[in-house]
Amino acid sequence: MKKQQNDQMSFEQGLARISEISELLASGEPELEQSLALYEEACGLVARCRELLTGAELRITEISAAAGLLPNDGEG
Amino acid sequence: MNREAISVSALNRYVKALLEGDEVLSQVWVEGELSGVRVHEASGHIYFRTVDASASVKAVMFRSYAQRLRFLPADGMKVLLNCAVTLYERGGDYQLSVRDIVPIGEGGRQTQLEELKERLEKEGLFAAERKRPLPARPRRVAVITSSSGAVIRDIQNVAGRRDPFIELQLYAVNVQGALAVNAILRAIEALNENGGADLAIIARGGGSKDDLWLFNDEALVRAAAQLKIPFISAVGHETDFTLLDFVADLRAPTPSAAAELAVPDLHAELQRAWEQLAGMQASLSRSGAQLALRLTDAGAAVAANAAAQAAACRDKLARAQALCDSLSPLRVLERGFLYATKDGKAVRGAVSLKAGDRLSLTFRDGSAGCTIDEVSAQ
């Protein structure tokens, strides 16, 4: 269930969850067994985020709001 | 007196033909200073006057020529004009039809720039308090630059490598020639109207001092100061400075650097998160190790106990073995004795034997069978 939820996560959410888990682990509150489960979850998220990051492609949109622009012949 | 009259139109047409027919006036270089420079929005033509100490003349540079200009004509510039002399029929004014403008007297232009810089500085346009912090995690970055050329590609590459989840909005403009200023002004205006972006980059690749001069334009600098979102200037190379850099919230040495400054590196952030987690792993293994240590301690106790028991057992065993060994008949054989068996049973005395019995004699190194000849009991 958790795994499935994590698969739906965005990079942003994943990164936030990793930090959250790190803090939880740092607090020393969870029992060892739970800590291990959290750690495992975070490791999965890191892999997932890495995958998202390498799979994503930057979007570029050209805004033509500046109407009446001359044909662009300028040098970059 | 000849009272025959001609129309004004005819007159102007006639004078125009005279001027344009003149060999000298059809291709002439005029030296002067620019004054009242105005770019006509719709047509792209540039209008101005050329003056010297005591006279002035109207001039026009049509768009087809204006587009080729490598710098922005500005008031006060000392220039050489390559032009033809003609006449504007409707107004009857004679004017220069300019094909090319060559700036002369760099000193004058530089002085003018310094004056403008000082003026804008006094107005507080460059003040540190005006600088806005860049958004830590921009979602949409508006880029005002040419749609062709390396700049937008570089920015796209760098930004895409660092945070591919952002959106770049390209406001494509001329960044070259006399019409660039107007294009950039319009883009700034459109950007302010559209909203949506949370950061802007105004960029141009490297070029000559003349190429980059338009980013010293007063109107452009003032408009940039009115941008509603923080912006990074990235004009030319590291050593190039324009007034736009001074009014920008942040100056980047190059367009690629602008992308780096604008867009956080998510790979690095993920790496940091991973390292933080790895730190946790260390502490986890520490607590795991502590647990393991406790286990080991307990185990060691058990093991020590077991070892002691084992040692005791070994001792007992050794003693038992020693005893056994000492009692073993084999030890006796070592010393040269032998023993005899009859039908698998040890022979304990002569009395149990009679002539003809088969015996087996066991030596240290083997055995031998033999038959009893006679028995003499004591």
SS3 B273: helix
Q: How many residues does the structure list for chain A?
A: 76
* Chain B nearest-CA residue for A76: B149
pLDDT value of residue B170: 95
Using N-to-C axis directions, what is the helix angle for B180-194 and B218-225, rounded to 10°?
Answer: 10
CB contact under 8 A, A76 and B171: no
Confidence of residue B103 (pLDDT cuts 50, 70, 90): confident
* A22 with B273: Cβ contact below 8 A: yes
A45 by Cβ neighbours in 10 Å (0-12 / 13-18 / 19+) ranks as buried
User: Of chain B residues 154-193, which have a CB less than 8 A from chain A?
Assistant: 156, 159-160, 163-177, 179-180, 183, 186-187, 189-191, 193
**B149 Cβ under 8 Å from any chain A Cβ:** yes
Confidence band of A76 (pLDDT split at 50, 70, 90): very low
Given an 8 Å threshold on Cβ–Cβ distance, is A76 in contact with B267?
no
Helices B266-327 and B150-162 pack at an angle, to 10 degrees, of 40
Helix intervals (H) in chain B = 8-21, 63-66, 106-123, 150-162, 180-194, 209-212, 218-225, 243-247, 255-262, 266-327, 329-334
Q: At what angle do helices A11-27 and B266-327 cross, to 10 degrees?
A: 50
Output phi, psi for B253, to 5 deg.
Answer: -65, -30
Beta bridge partners of B328: none
- Are residues B170 and A60, on separate chains, in Cβ contact within 8 Å? yes
Q: Which residue has the higher pLDDT, A26 or A5?
A: A26
Which amino acid is residue B192, in one-letter code?
A: N
Q: Examine the pLDDT at B52 and tell me if it is beyond 50.
A: yes
pLDDT one-digit tens code per residue, B2-17:
678 999 999 999 999 9
Residues B89 and B13: beta-carbon distance below 8 Å: yes
| CB B74 within 8 Å of CB B37 | yes
- C-alpha–C-alpha distance, residues B164 and B183, integer Å: 28
Question: Does residue B285 have a pLDDT over 70?
Answer: no
Chain B interface mutation, best of A54, A70, A73, highest count of B Cβ atoms under 10 Å:
A70
Classify B360 as helix, strand or coil: strand
CB B199 within 8 A of CB B261: no
CA B228 to chain centre: 26
Q: What angle do CA B323, B327, B331 make, to 5 degrees?
A: 115
Kindly list the strands in the beta sheet with B366-371, ordered across the sheet, starting from the edge strand earlier in the chain.
B345-346, B339-342, B358-363, B366-371
Distance of CA B76 to the CA centre of its chain: 42
Q: Quote the ipTM score.
A: 0.77
From residue B211, how far is each of A22, B112, B174, B187 by CA, in Å?
Answer: 52, 17, 12, 19
| Average pLDDT rounded to a whole number, residues B215-238 | 94
**A34: distance to nearest CA of chain B, Å?**
11
Name the residue among A19, A57, A73 with its Cβ closest to that of B160. A57
Helix then strand count (H, E) for chain A reads 3, 1
Nearest chain A residue to B269 by CA distance is A15
pLDDT category at B20 given cuts 50, 70, 90 is very high
Res B30 pLDDT > 50: yes
Cβ proximity of B201 and B244 under 8 Å = no
**Chain B residues 238-297 within an 8 A CB cutoff of chain A:** 266-267, 269-270, 273-274, 276-277, 279-281, 283-284, 287-288, 291
What is the mean predicted confidence (pLDDT) over B11-38?
A: 92
pLDDT in tens, A23-50: 888 887 877 778 878 888 888 888 889 8
- How far apart, in whole angstroms, are the C-alpha atoms of residue B264 and residue B211? 31
- The alpha carbon dihedral of A7, A9, A10, A14 has a sign of negative
Residue B64 has what pLDDT? 93
pLDDT > 90: percent of chain A:
3
Give all strands (DSSP E) within B24-75, no chain letters: 28-39, 46-51, 56-61
B254/B215 Cα distance (integer angstroms): 14
Q: How far apart are CA B167 and CA B312, in angstroms?
A: 79
Shortest alpha-carbon distance between residue B36 and chain A (Å) = 23
Q: Using CA coordinates, name the residue in chain B closest to A16.
A: B273
Note the Cα B29 to chain centre separation in Å. 49
| Cα torsion through B186, B187, B190, B195, rounded to 10 | -160
Contacts of B269 in chain A (CB under 8 A): 15
